[in-house]
Structure 1
Amino acid sequence: MHPILKSYIPVANIITQTFGKNCEVSIHDLTQPESSVVYVANGTVTGRKEGQSFNHLIRQVLLSKKFKDDCTANYLFEADNGKKIKSSSALIRNPEGEVIGMLCINYDLTLSYLIKEEVLGFLPELTQDEMPVEDELPNQDVTTIIDELIANIIKNKDKDSLKRKDSVELIRFMDEKGVFLVKGAIDKVAESLGLSKVTIYSYLDEARGKK
């Protein structure tokens, strides 16, 4: 675990102690993306465990219209155990301003949704004109963060001795995590691995089962 992230462990613990058994907090070390989860408080909510990797960093945090000031609050997802989760994530930077980690708060809304369905049964339905409109927040440029993430994924790999199957697995990991949803990521990965874009696309096709 990066030394700076250790100071966030008491923060994670006090949040779960404040909000109870339906709240989980995880700390990610993004300098080791493939095993980024380094601490979990009350992991029974989603089943999160240390040694796992991030899931929502790119798709629901960095690429969200709500992403601002290094955080995205109150996005929703369904956990592997079927629970409906409200999540908020904040990036953690070192003194030089580099992103080194992330703190995520996950809250189980399963019971809340059941109560909501019960209550809505007694309320009139809103028409489309009456539905509240959520303000769109400007999306922050995430290119630098993605570049740092790619560098951290590749940094411990011996690029000159990577076999094809190992390269495909590396590309598969990035694809599953949403790295290639960001414009320019293919070019960055190709440059970092010393390969052509054509080769990266070939590996990506194979990783997606197209070969």
Structure 2
Amino acid sequence: MPSLEVIDEHIVLDILSSTVRLVGSLLPNNIEVVLHDLRNPECSVVEISSPSITGRKKGDSVISGARRDPAFANLMEFSSEPITYVLNYETQDNAGNPLRSSSAIYRNAQGMPFAALCINADYQQIDKAIALIQQLTASELNPTFKKEQQVIISEPTPDNIDALLQEIIDIAMEQNPGSNRPAIKKANLVAVQRMQERGIFIIKGGVEKAAKALGVSRYTVYNYLDELKAQNEGE
């Protein structure tokens, strides 16, 4: 595998950007290809095809994509390899629907991630098409057959990380009302867990932003993360 020491990051991003356009032009609409510039996480999306899968657009944040993506989070950890990737793993879109994803992270000579190329496939569209054909066939055989309408409410996507943090905190406070110390800690734990699920802590400065939004120190946020980890391990 060639070293990235002699490769300009801008050139790599330009090459990957043209690759997204080229590959995306031939893929079906249920497969999204997205390129992130991780040096600018708050508006990292520089190229995307089939954006209807996750509802993203150019300029969106890296955390506005698939939910509960531990494989991507693990890839963001330090590595001496210039390119690391995970293939065909399960994630979710913002409405909680299952996706199949593959991700590759590109690092500079210091081992810091600067680009991510991700593919997300929504096979539910195919399943829905099959179900629709079956329902239409059933309705032709049985005139009294009525199809139930299913409404999927998408989770709102804030324009920036600060808005997302505040939204998460507001929801946690509503779910855990109270002004005493135990109630506030419980709400903060719920908020930090939700932030972790949305990938806040995989971006540079994520812990500091979360701490500022919660009105606590970053060490308190780390303590919350340790407590959540212990709870998960005890389940």
Q: TM-score, normalised by structure 1?
A: 0.50
- Structure 1 residues 175-190: aligned runs within 5 Å: 175=196, 176-177=198-199, 179=201
- Structure 1 residues 1-211: aligned runs within 5 Å: 3=10, 4-55=12-63, 59-63=70-74, 70-80=84-94, 83-94=97-108, 97-113=111-127, 175=196, 176-177=198-199, 179=201, 199-202=217-220
**Deviation per CA, 1:25-45, whole angstroms, max 9, x where unpaired?**
111111112222122122122
For the Cα contact (< 8 Å) 1:25–1:104, is it kept in 2?
Answer: yes
- Deviation at 1:89? 0.6
Counterpart residue type for residue 7 of structure 1? I
- Deviation at 1:96? 5.5
- Deviation at 1:80? 2.5
- Deviation at 1:18? 2.8
Counterpart residue type for residue 20 of structure 1? P
Give secondary structure in 2 for the equivalent of 1:70. Answer: strand
- Higher relative contact order (CA closer than 8 Å, sequence separation 6+): 1
CA 1:99/1:204 → structure 2, altered by over 3 Å: closer, same or farther? closer
For the Cα contact (< 8 Å) 1:76–1:86, is it kept in 2?
Answer: yes
Q: TM-score, normalised by structure 2?
A: 0.46
**Deviation per CA, 1:102-157, whole angstroms, max 9, x where unpaired?**
0011112113445899xxxxxxxxxxxxxxxxxxxxxxxxxxxxxxxxxxx9xxxx
Distance in 1 separating the partners of 2:69 and 2:36 = 13
Distance in 2 separating the partners of 1:13 and 1:80 = 24
- Deviation at 1:100? 0.5
**Alignment correspondent of 1:121:** none
**Alignment correspondent of 1:156:** none
Listed as ranges, the gaps of 5+ residues in structure 2 are: 1-8, 76-80, 132-160, 162-190, 225-235
Structure exhibiting the larger radius of gyration computed from Cα positions: 2
- Deviation at 1:88? 0.7
Distance in 2 separating the partners of 1:47 and 1:29 = 18
For the Cα contact (< 8 Å) 1:86–1:106, is it kept in 2?
Answer: yes
Distance in 1 separating the partners of 2:122 and 2:32 = 8
